[in-house]
């Protein structure tokens, strides 16, 4: 320990002799470490934001949409005909073991009026299961119940955006709003969820019992009294997603009497997977950013090697003298190695400070979320030490194996 401290002191003194040169050499490492920390911070921030968004749509989600139908050889596009019904939803919930919950939804655009204020938004006819699947919680009031759905009650739950636009800051619970000329009583407001991974405002929504929505607001399919738009399905666990998909496909083909060889009249999509792809791309981006920043750290290391080589040449006589008075190979080696590592570690420490400042500035001015983890700071510190050892070794070795006679005679 004492030995290390004294060699550190000797190294610092040697570095002080050429202050400007040492500072410029460190600059390479400072920029490298700061770039790594800031870039990894930006990348981690992006990944974290996408993860939040994926969390906000709910976990293990599968969406079943009406598919294309061909009637007498005429193929209609997806969603052209609502082929799904509430009974399908009930059957899936009852018969597919890999499915935890099913929520039928029916969607349509509506204009809502309250007093002199009005607001256009998207209305969703849903059942209480929807709250489980989408992981919804109430900011105020209650969600409507199965009884409300069965009775076709004229009750509504508002998203935060709708609530703000119609009621300002006041609590809308108990107020009566007009949706497409039909009065609905507001029973609650949802806790805000923010943006979806596709950038939509998930709070600009009004939730109605699916029965009331179909009869009074959105309108159903005359041929199918219990028609629904999509089915939101939650699998029991992430590794049961595939199982749930195949169970549902089999069941729905059976229920819709689709002959083998014919196309499904519905589409099943694994939502989590879609958004997970975005997360992966964000991670790839952060790895790329980190890799590019690492290159500058390596360039900084080459700068250290360069300066250490110059320093060894300049101090040839000193090395010769030290050898003459008894310095062993390892003594000289460690002296120059400690010097290189001191340079790179000092640069690393300053670089960490600069990197933290830079990422704070990026979040403040560019309004990008950045997340600097302790791990990335530690890694940067360790990496800069490694750079010092790696790039300091060659010059140090060169010094340690100088011929003392030649070195003493060097002018």
**Which stretches of the chain bind other proteins, using CB under 8 A?**
2, 6, 13, 17, 317-318, 321-331, 404-405, 408
**Dist CA 227 CA 156 (whole Å):** 20
Shorter beta-carbon distance to other proteins: residue 5 or 374: 5
* Nearer of residues 12 and 349 to other proteins, judged by Cβ: 12
Residue whose CB is less far from other proteins, 90 or 328: 328
Taking the complex as a whole, the smallest distance from the CB of residue 293 to other proteins amounts, in Å, to 37
Q: What are the distances in angstroms from CA 332 to CA 7, 15, 393? A: 11, 16, 11
Terminal C-alpha separation, the chain? 35
CB of 7 to other proteins, least distance (A): 9
Q: Which is nearer to other proteins, 18 or 215 (CB)?
A: 18
Q: Least Å distance between CB 3 and other proteins? A: 9
CA atoms within 13 A on the CB side of 45: 18
Token pair listed for 230: 């999509």
Minimum separation from the CB atom of position 308 to other proteins (A): 18
In the bound state with other proteins, the residue whose beta carbon lies nearer, of 2 and 259, is: 2
Q: How far is the CB of 389 from other proteins (least distance, A)?
A: 22
**What is the closest distance, in whole angstroms, from the C-beta atom of residue 324 to other proteins in the complex?**
5
What DSSP element (H or E) covers 158?
A: strand 155-158
The tokens for 347 are: 């640069």
Q: CB 39 → other proteins: shortest distance, Å? A: 40
Structure tokens at 35: 């770039």
DSSP state at residue 221: B
User: What's the CA dihedral at 45, 51, 55, 58 to 10 degrees?
Assistant: 150
With contact defined as beta carbons under 8 Å apart, do 245 and 163 qualify?
A: no
In the complex, least distance from residue 305 CB atom to other proteins, rounded to whole angstroms = 24
For residues 236 and 124, give the distance between their C-alpha atoms in angstroms, rounded to a whole number.
24
Rounded to whole angstroms, what are the CA distances from 3 to 13, 206, 319, 333, 396?
15, 72, 19, 14, 18
Rounded alpha-carbon distances, angstroms, from residue 70 to 74, 241, 258, 260, 263:
5, 29, 12, 15, 9
- Is the CB of residue 84 less than 8 Å from the CB of residue 103? no
Residue (52 or 331) nearer to other proteins, CB: 331
């Amino acid at each position: 320990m004492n030995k290390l401290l004294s060699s550190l002191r000797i190294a610092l003194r040697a570095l002080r002799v050429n202050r400007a040169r040492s500072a410029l050499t460190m600059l390479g490492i400072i920029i490298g470490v700061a770039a790594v920390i800031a870039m990894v911070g930006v990348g981690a921030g992006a990944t974290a934001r996408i993860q939040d968004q994926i969390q906000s749509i709910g976990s293990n989600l599968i969406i079943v949409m009406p598919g294309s139908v061909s009637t007498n050889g005429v193929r209609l596009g997806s969603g052209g005909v609502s082929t799904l019904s509430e009974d399908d939803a009930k059957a899936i919930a009852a018969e597919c073991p890999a499915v935890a919950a099913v929520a039928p939804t029916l969607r349509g655009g509506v204009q809502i009026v309250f007093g002199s204020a009005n607001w256009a938004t998207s209305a969703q006819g849903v059942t209480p299961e929807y709250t489980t699947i989408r992981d919804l919680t109430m900011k105020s009031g209650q969600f409507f119940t199965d009884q409300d759905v069965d009775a076709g009650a004229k009750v509504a739950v508002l998203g935060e955006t709708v609530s703000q636009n119609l009621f300002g800051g006041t609590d809308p619970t108990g107020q009566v709003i007009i949706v497409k000329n039909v009065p609905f009583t507001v029973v609650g407001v949802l806790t805000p969820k923010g943006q979806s991974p596709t950038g939509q405002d998930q709070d600009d929504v009004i939730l109605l019992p699916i029965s009331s929505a179909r009869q009074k607001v959105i309108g159903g399919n005359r041929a199918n009294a219990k028609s629904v738009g999509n089915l939101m399905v939650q699998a029991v666990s992430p590794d049961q997603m595939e199982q749930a998909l195949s169970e549902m496909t089999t069941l729905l083909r059976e229920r819709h009497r689709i002959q083998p060889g014919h196309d499904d009249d519905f589409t099943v999509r694994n939502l989590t997977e879609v958004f997970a792809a975005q997360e992966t791309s964000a991670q790839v981006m952060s790895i790329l950013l980190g890799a590019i920043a690492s290159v500058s750290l390596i360039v900084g290391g080459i700068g250290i090697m360069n300066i250490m080589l110059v320093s060894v040449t300049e101090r040839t006589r000193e090395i010769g003298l030290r050898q003459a008075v008894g310095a062993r190979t390892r003594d000289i080696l460690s002296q120059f190695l400690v010097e290189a590592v001191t340079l790179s570690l000092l640069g690393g420490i300053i670089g960490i400070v600069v990197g933290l400042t830079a990422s704070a500035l990026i979040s403040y001015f560019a309004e990008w979320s950045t997340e600097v983890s302790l791990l990335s700071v530690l890694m940067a510190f360790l990496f800069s030490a490694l750079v010092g050892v790696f790039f300091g070794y060659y010059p140090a070795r060169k010094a340690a194996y100088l011929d003392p006679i030649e070195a003493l005679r060097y002018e």
